[in-house]
Amino acid sequence: MLKLHYNLEKVSMGLVAAIIVAASIGGIVEIAPLFTIDETVDVPDDLRPHTPLELAGREIYIREGCYACHSQMVRSLADELDRYGPYSLASESAYDHPMLWGSKRTGPDLARLGGKYSDDWHVQHLIDPRSVVPASIMPAYPWMTRSLDTKLLGDSLATLARVGVPYNAPMISEAAADAQAQSRPDSDGADGVLERYGNNVAVRAFDGDPSRLTEMDALVAYLQSLGTLTEAPYEILAEGDQ
């Protein structure tokens, strides 16, 4: 075997061909199961897609590299269940492109973060992390107070709809308006957000200022949505306790 490998190294094109074959086998093993994802992952009946504002926050979360220090995957270990809540289900991420499970935990897991802290806490934590968590090593994000650009939200929803996320035509056409309305509970469009995305959607001024829409609104809205898009994990945990 070693002699074959040695001889192959002396023939550059042969070595290249062998590398391509080996990489192709590995790729097929990883990619092929994805073609049966619809058969192996049952999407919960109550799973809702992110609102445009939450989706914008998710893009900011990815843009700022938050996923590099925070996982969104609770494992089925006793200590993790005690700290974070029900273990993560693949079906929870059925509408996530890309999914953000991960395993890196420089900071805590965020899969069940929604509702754990107030909006004010999140705002202060993002602007000055050590003012609320003295031992934190998280960098500050003071620029989140700038205005949110909503021009491409409709296109983002339309793209996700093409890969199976259940955004319909009204959701796509009203994406920018819905992002504004979700941060303005007293606006005329607030009821439209609830009508399109369900009554469990949070409609409020996430950064405390309903007069303007900011990146802080979007990011806090996204963080507050984590773990709230379906009740499936909590139902499974409750069944296990019986």
Query: Mean pLDDT per 10-residue run, the chain (242 residues)?
Result: 68 79 84 66 90 98 96 93 92 92 92 96 98 96 96 97 95 97 95 95 96 97 97 81 59
**Cα 97–chain centre separation:** 8
Which tokens in the block code for residue 232? Answer: 């499936």
Is residue 32 domain-shared with residue 137, that is, in the same domain?
no
The domain total for the chain is 2
Query: What's this model's pTM, rounded to 2 decimal places?
Result: 0.85
pLDDT value at residue 17: 83
Is residue 153 domain-shared with residue 180, that is, in the same domain?
yes
Tell whether 182 is covered by a domain: yes
pLDDT value at residue 229: 96
pLDDT value at residue 36: 63
Which tokens in the block code for residue 58? Answer: 């998710």
Number of other residues whose CB lies within 10 A of the CB of residue 9: 11
pLDDT value at residue 194: 96
**Cα 33–chain centre separation:** 22
Is residue 163 domain-shared with residue 216, that is, in the same domain?
yes
Is residue 179 domain-shared with residue 228, that is, in the same domain?
yes
pLDDT value at residue 240: 62
- Domain extent at residue 15: 2-40
- Distance, in Å, from the CA atom of 217 to the CA atom of 42, rounded to the nearest integer, reads 32
Hey, which residues does 2 pair with through a beta bridge?
none
Tell whether 45 is covered by a domain: no
pLDDT value at residue 241: 61
pLDDT value at residue 230: 95
What CATH number has the domain bearing residue 208?
A: 1.10.760.10
